[in-house]
Amino acid sequence: MINDLVRINIKNLKPYTSARDMYSQGILLDANENSFGSIVELTGETLNRYPDPHQLSMRESLAAYLGISFSKLFFGVGSDEIIDLLIRIFCDPGKDSIMILEPTYGMYKVSADINDVRSETVLLNDKFDINTEAVINNWNKRIKIIFLCSPNNPTGNLLNNNSIKTLLQETKSIIVVDEAYIDFAVEGNSCIDMINEYPNLVLLRTFSKAWGLAGIRLGYCIANEEIINYLFKVKAPYNINSFTRKAFQDSFLNISTKNDFVKSILNEKQYLIKELNKIKQVEKVFPSDANFILIKIKDASSNQKLLADEGIIIRDRSSQPLLDNCLRITVGTHEQNKQLIDSLTIILNKQKSV
């Protein structure tokens, strides 16, 4: 089934063979590198050499951590790179489409637009969950990928896994489930256990959130080997650089820090929810399984700007479908959250008194 969905030019593509595909040790005079060394030192790293195009040591470390086979893993320059690669593998420009369930993460549509691929939109339901019937009714065979985001950005909620299973069974598309925020949800909600059962499922994850590594640009996907092989076929030869690999490997010496981050963020989220609920002008604090909170508030756009004038930057999402007057607030440190609540209270009180 996967092969039938892949673009013909990608199926026929003779990929770039990199210098390190066959030999990675010995006197390396094959890749026009600088054999004398590099201008910068990074402990234990040989920066004058190209990094491993097969991402082997990284895939092995992550496979051991996740308890899955390394052959189901692929790393990208952020999960954003993988979104783009998937569209390039499966969608013929000018002909094919992706489906997105709005409101959701903006990069699916942007990547599709860049690749001249249409985005078909189906709205989430009033609980911001999948409207399975609408997705199936609007599905057509030009829709090669359906992007789902769970927990969804910017609404914050997990999607229903049974609905995801229905789409995996009932549509002939690749189903991407973007789990960028899954570390903040109650355990057991990931779709990772469905990977062996559904060859058309791709899970996207990132080191930018719970791991605190947005600066190294590292994301990964979990999928069946056929899809993984296509990703390796189309990616730039050495997409993951040595600095990123080093930071990744060091982070595995320190998993407890990641768990502590998650705990602190979840504690602070409860504080923020409690304080936001005390503010009368906040009409709704939506439930969140992520590291951010969506709120509905009077005059959202002007209040977002007034907060920005005070140096507190949150995201105005009110132009998105279903999100009239909605703002998205990332959970900060206790001090940052207190400042947000204080400033918002002052701004809103001023409006009351006018």
Contact positions vs ligand PLP (CB under 6 A): 78-80, 105, 149, 153, 178, 180, 206, 208, 214, 219
Strand partners of residue 292: 330
Give whichever of 117 and 180 is closer to ligand PLP, judged by the CB atom: 180
Q: How far is the CB of 76 from ligand PLP (least distance, A)?
A: 8
| Structure-token match 């094959």, residue found | 30
Give whichever of 19 and 83 is closer to ligand PLP, judged by the CB atom: 83
Q: What is the largest CA-CA distance in the chain?
A: 77
Q: How far is the CB of 17 from ligand PLP (least distance, A)?
A: 27
Nearest to 113 by CA among 89, 90, 97, 135: 97
Which amino acid is located at 306 in the chain? L
Give whichever of 80 and 316 is closer to ligand PLP, judged by the CB atom: 80
Give whichever of 84 and 96 is closer to ligand PLP, judged by the CB atom: 84
Give whichever of 47 and 151 is closer to ligand PLP, judged by the CB atom: 151
Which residue minimizes CB distance to ligand PLP?
Answer: 78
Q: How far is the CB of 79 from ligand PLP (least distance, A)?
A: 4
Q: For the packed helices 78-90 and 225-234, what is the interaxial angle rounded to 10 degrees?
A: 100
DSSP string, 231-244: HHHHS-TT-S-HHH
Q: Which residues contact 103 (CB under 8 A, 6 or more apart)?
A: 124, 128, 152, 154, 155, 317, 320, 321, 322, 323
Q: How far is the CB of 105 from ligand PLP (least distance, A)?
A: 4
Give whichever of 153 and 157 is closer to ligand PLP, judged by the CB atom: 153
Using CA atoms, how far apart are residues 99 and 169, in angstroms rounded to an integer? Answer: 16
Q: How far is the CB of 335 from ligand PLP (least distance, A)?
A: 23
Q: How far is the CB of 242 from ligand PLP (least distance, A)?
A: 19
Give whichever of 246 and 338 is closer to ligand PLP, judged by the CB atom: 246
Q: How far is the CB of 132 from ligand PLP (least distance, A)?
A: 21
Using CA atoms, how far apart are residues 295 and 340, in angstroms rounded to an integer? Answer: 13
Give whichever of 175 and 348 is closer to ligand PLP, judged by the CB atom: 175
Within 10 angstroms of residue 128's Cβ, the number of other Cβ atoms is: 23
Q: How far is the CB of 104 from ligand PLP (least distance, A)?
A: 8
Pull the structure tokens for residue 273: 């929810």
Using CA atoms, how far apart are residues 59 and 299, in angstroms rounded to an integer? Answer: 47
Instruction: List, edge to edge, every strand of the sheet that includes 315-316.
Output: 282-285, 292-297, 326-330, 315-316
Burial tier of 39 (Cβ tally within 10 Å: 0-12, 13-18, 19+): exposed
